[in-house]
Amino acid sequence: MKQLTAFLFFTIFSIQGIAQERPQIEIQTNYGTMVLELYNETPLHRDNFLKLIEDKVYDSLIFHRVIEDFMIQAGDTESKNAKPGESVGEHDLPYQVPAEIRPNIFHKKGSLGAARTNNPERASSSTQFYIVQGKIQNDSLLTHNQNRINTYLQRHFAINDTTIKPLYDSLENAREAKDSVLVKTLSDKLESQVKSFENFQKYEIPAAHKEVYENIGGTPHLDQSYTVFGQVISGLEVVDAIAAVETNEKDRPETDVIILKMRIVHTPIP
């Protein structure tokens, strides 16, 4: 009976372990191949990304925004047809993915994050993503970036506060109406209220995150403002190679960096 119990325990444990495995995807580019795993902690982004790959949405798109020591960005659905030098980065599919910002997931080198507009909900683009290159951080840089994080958080919580949200909504309406005078007036008023807003919990970069940033690198100022939903597990040298390409004044590579193909290489057993 004890042997049977032990066997059942081992079997259950093994099944649970398989269930916790992460899906893996492969990105083939004209600069090399990367393998990434997607986080189960961000299921909406995981499942959306997997569906897009299955539908071959990413095949033939380009990395349209590349900034060395920061990140490489792709996913503009019209970029496969972009002419040399043409401005790219405005297109995706007509929906957003709700934010899944987790306190224990951060922007270390190789992280896969979701691009987004400056919407109050911090909802992600349906298709556009970035892969972090970043750089090694020291104490001074970490302090600076922690301050940036809290500036972003201050703005996020301020414009969603019930006492300030109506002002933000009025500003957005004025922008849609292209009323430049009213936009200037409301914008100045909003910024004044945002800067004095204190009703939020300030963020401190955890010691474990700091250690990674100091040894591996990353882009900590994006933490807690953008959804990270995966990481590169093979091919970081490809990220570095793409990040080093020559770009124009709009950060588009002078020579196209192309996603030749994306495919799912491992799907965990449910």
What pLDDT does residue 81 have?
87
If one counts every other C-beta atom within 10 angstroms of the C-beta of residue 242, the result is 22
Residue 183 and residue 174 in contact, taking contact as beta carbons nearer than 8 Å: yes
Q: What is the mean pLDDT of residues 41-56?
A: 98
Chain mean pLDDT for the chain: 92
Residue extents of the structural domains in the chain? 22-135+219-266
What pLDDT does residue 20 have?
62
* pLDDT reading at 212 higher than 90: yes
CA distances from 159 to 122, 142, 165, 167 (A): 12, 26, 5, 8
pLDDT tens for each residue of 106-134 = 999 999 999 999 999 999 999 999 999 99
Q: What is the mean pLDDT of residues 74-89?
A: 92
What pLDDT does residue 13 have?
39
Interatomic CA distance for residues 21 and 39, integer angstroms: 9
pLDDT tens for each residue of 139-165 = 999 999 999 999 999 999 999 999 999
pTM of the model: 0.89
Q: Which is it for the CA torsion 102, 216, 150, 172, positive or negative? A: negative
* pLDDT reading at 10 higher than 50: no
Q: How confident is the model at residue 85 (pLDDT cuts 50, 70, 90)?
A: confident
Give 65's Cβ-side CA count (13 Å radius). 18
What pLDDT does residue 270 have?
61
Closest CA to 52 of 92, 19, 3: 92
Residue 145 and residue 221 in contact, taking contact as beta carbons nearer than 8 Å: yes
Q: Which secondary-structure segment (H or E) carries 175?
A: helix 165-176
Q: How confident is the model at residue 19 (pLDDT cuts 50, 70, 90)?
A: very low
141 or 268, which is more confident: 141
Q: For residue 112, list its beta bridge partners.
A: 131, 230
What pLDDT does residue 219 have?
98
pLDDT tens for each residue of 241-265 = 999 999 999 999 999 999 999 999 9
Q: Which secondary-structure segment (H or E) carries 125?
A: strand 124-125
What pLDDT does residue 269 have?
62
**CATH code for the part of the protein at 22-135+219-266:** 2.40.100.10
Instruction: Tell me what percent of the residues of the chain surpass a pLDDT of 70.
Output: 92
Q: Is 249 left (phi over 0), alpha (psi -120 to 50) or beta?
A: alpha
What pLDDT does residue 4 have?
38
139 CB burial (10 A radius; 0-12, 13-18, 19+): exposed
Instruction: Tell me what percent of the residues of the chain surpass a pLDDT of 90.
Output: 89
Residue 135 and residue 67 in contact, taking contact as beta carbons nearer than 8 Å: no
Q: What is the mean pLDDT of residues 172-182?
A: 95
Q: Which is it for the CA torsion 50, 56, 62, 65, positive or negative? A: negative
Interatomic CA distance for residues 123 and 99, integer angstroms: 5
